[in-house]
Structure 1
């Protein structure tokens, strides 16, 4: 009798939400949008259900592994909130590996990276100033050691294949444990009839910028990056360096762009030398990569935002570099000695799925940001993750980080004038052959639905209206 009563109650609950049976065909507006896009329904995976009746709703290709694009960030965010905690913070330390006598540090000063997402030039300068003024250090007799060893490999960008032709732009940065200024340097670009000029800011060391290989075109200034090509960086005799920019730039235009075009150790060394010198300090040795010696003591420390705050740019602006950094922090928290940090992070995610009794079959993790051609997740996995998060202790933190339809983040211009505007909170995902949405959508009665929709198709971009039609259908019914 109890099982019969449960079925009656379940049927009543599903009927109350308008989902008395499980659907496996798209609502009419979605079908129409797919036909107009020329995208077959087989390219679409969907899971949509009311949170109070997860057995109902709509499922289509729900267990097919799909390239999720940036909806993969929801996995990284949810697992990090649970495993690291919303108050977790990355840190950077300056350590003394030796005694300080009469303003002279006998051993090296160690700059140790700890996955700090907010270590910019100003933060580094303030740390060095603390060493100079609070601890009275004037001379660094043993040079400076840069320790990136929290993650393995310590320099993951070396030898890594380019994801696309704009590998030097911020979204393509491969972070390491130091992540100084996001491994970026700002360039002021300008052109006239004579050619292109590029001025770095700030100017560290003797860096020559060669733009002689750049050609002028007649494209609109807003499309200045369309013709960008990979640059060449080389260290010159004496420690100076040269970067040769390449590609095209519109004539009569200006642009300010942060770029990842320098070797990060060369850039770090130049910044340390200049900032330490500006504080009246002297450097008696080299700036080199290495590990902090045993017994080194902390002289200064910088910490980034708490994780719950750091997730806002990761989710709302879909910041790939920060998502990758967080994924590596997740791996570092559980890595065995010598274990690859990305592989350790993938292991942590799978362990979390197992703890939530979620099937991880077909789940493929690479960098945790979705900027990948190999990462895979099913719509069922993303939906199950979101449901577990909403029921868990950190659901409010995740919800606060998601873009709001028609209001902010990557959804600021979407769903304007629709029933979802100002109400749906969803993570977007976009790659060359992928469009996706995953998040929470209140319906017309105020019940919250979990909606996950992913299209993998050569014409995926044309299918975005179909996904939007699904969200609007849920919000208005």
Structure 2
């Protein structure tokens, strides 16, 4: 009798599992045939996070652009290779001698690849002004009142060419297209301060930049749009070019700003430090400068500033999708393996040795901004299985309904407080990948990607939520 009951229970469980799988499969088929994806592509993979067994899939081997979900590869690799306690270093040094209150030599800011130096967004790091004041006091303690030389920003830690293959020109002048250099400052971005016109359709006035960078010039025009239309303005600029073209619209408000990418962070760093020192009464005889070559002369090290730990940086990357930080890790990995230009190939090789299927994987940058990056839903899930026990990695991911880019996702459902995932989006691309625990207490990893879809991002995001709710049943 007991045996018969047990058999019936087992059959019931199997039937329920089969029904749930059928429901998920039908939902995936329905989405693939949706008008939003008439000319597009859908890929999905659901795996057991412990065994790696594929539980459901749709085009899981198809090569797809995953936008910022690409950051999962960068952050996972950095944790595995560099370790969660890795830190970047930035040094202040001088050449020459200090005689009678005069530094007869140059003051050098020697970058060590720290992408968080003076960040305006990273909580807990010293602000730019705090760093300048710290360094001013060091010079003051050495009785330095004058520098007969230059303030030099040294970016030699990384190679000078910071723009990855596949970045489009429209991104380069805007804050999200800020590249990572050997020396970085304040997220490598500035604010372009604007005063919208009193009438819709008229030109907004350019008031300047914050911080003040008088060598930056702006052509073109930004028009005033009705209130509530948001930021639709762009800066077209290029590394090491100081003339920019502005275009687009900003809403009718009393004041407004848009953010741009610094064209030469090592130089900007030196310029701003010199400006600060002079305002504090310490004169500098020569113009600020920069170098992408190591300084060969004898230097006296005055100070060293450490970045937050890699674990903290990775949390910022995955929680808020910070392109600059991901690019810094990508370049650091290339440097670790001996050649920055081979970072993508080395990351691919690293995961290949761990058993990841490499077909369909192309790594051209660390952030996912490159249009040449590709991944497969299957490979992403394989990697997520490998990283499932890495607490630092898993905790770095946004939580549905609670944090980061998933704050408004899965509210009042089984996904809220449960699903942890990286999101990615760019024109025609949306991707989610991460973990959740289903209604039976089983941990799953997943990747869902759409390319070349039509319509609004919010609409596709809502459809993804419905798929994941089915998967979590």
Contact kept in structure 2, 1:22 and 1:55, CA below 8 Å:
no
Change over 3 Å in CA distance of 1:443–1:119 after alignment to 2: same
Give TM-score, length-normalised by structure 1.
Answer: 0.83
Is 1:405 the counterpart of 2:400 in the alignment? Answer: yes
Change over 3 Å in CA distance of 1:209–1:18 after alignment to 2: same
- The 5 A counterparts of 1:41-440 are 43-120=41-118, 121-152=128-159, 154-157=160-163, 163=168, 165=170, 167-193=172-198, 195-200=203-208, 202-204=210-212, 206=214, 213-223=220-230, 225-228=231-234, 230=236, 245-260=246-261, 263-264=264-265, 267-290=268-291, 291-335=294-338, 339=339, 341=340, 343-391=341-389, 395-440=390-435
- Which runs of 5 or more residues in structure 1 are unaligned? 1-11, 236-240
How far, CA to CA, are the matches of 1:375 and 1:114 in structure 2? 27
Change over 3 Å in CA distance of 1:205–1:322 after alignment to 2: closer
Report the alpha carbon displacement of residue 17 of structure 1 after superposing the two structures with TM.
12
* Count of residues in correspondence between the two structures: 446
Give TM-score, length-normalised by structure 2.
Answer: 0.84
How far, CA to CA, are the matches of 1:132 and 1:88 in structure 2? 29
Change over 3 Å in CA distance of 1:318–1:219 after alignment to 2: same
Report the alpha carbon displacement of residue 446 of structure 1 after superposing the two structures with TM.
1.6
Alignment RMSD, CA only? Answer: 3.2
Contact kept in structure 2, 1:31 and 1:466, CA below 8 Å:
no
How far, CA to CA, are the matches of 1:328 and 1:17 in structure 2? 50
Q: State the partner residue of 1:5.
A: none
How far, CA to CA, are the matches of 1:31 and 1:442 in structure 2? 23
> What do residues 357-393 of structure 1 show as CA deviations (whole Å, max 9, x unaligned)?
22223211111111121001111211111111113xx
Change over 3 Å in CA distance of 1:434–1:192 after alignment to 2: closer
How far, CA to CA, are the matches of 2:444 and 2:192 in structure 1? 45
Change over 3 Å in CA distance of 1:330–1:126 after alignment to 2: farther
How far, CA to CA, are the matches of 1:347 and 1:242 in structure 2? 35
Contact kept in structure 1, 2:63 and 2:375, CA below 8 Å:
yes
Question: Which of 27, 30, 46 is the aligned partner of 1:29?
Answer: 27
Contact kept in structure 2, 1:441 and 1:471, CA below 8 Å:
no
How far, CA to CA, are the matches of 2:431 and 2:245 in structure 1? 37
> What do residues 192-247 of structure 1 show as CA deviations (whole Å, max 9, x unaligned)?
33742333454536458667x42534333442x32445369999xxxxx8766444
Give the secondary structure class of the aligned counterpart of 1:192: coil
How far, CA to CA, are the matches of 1:165 and 1:316 in structure 2? 25
Change over 3 Å in CA distance of 1:31–1:471 after alignment to 2: same
Report the alpha carbon displacement of residue 445 of structure 1 after superposing the two structures with TM.
1.6
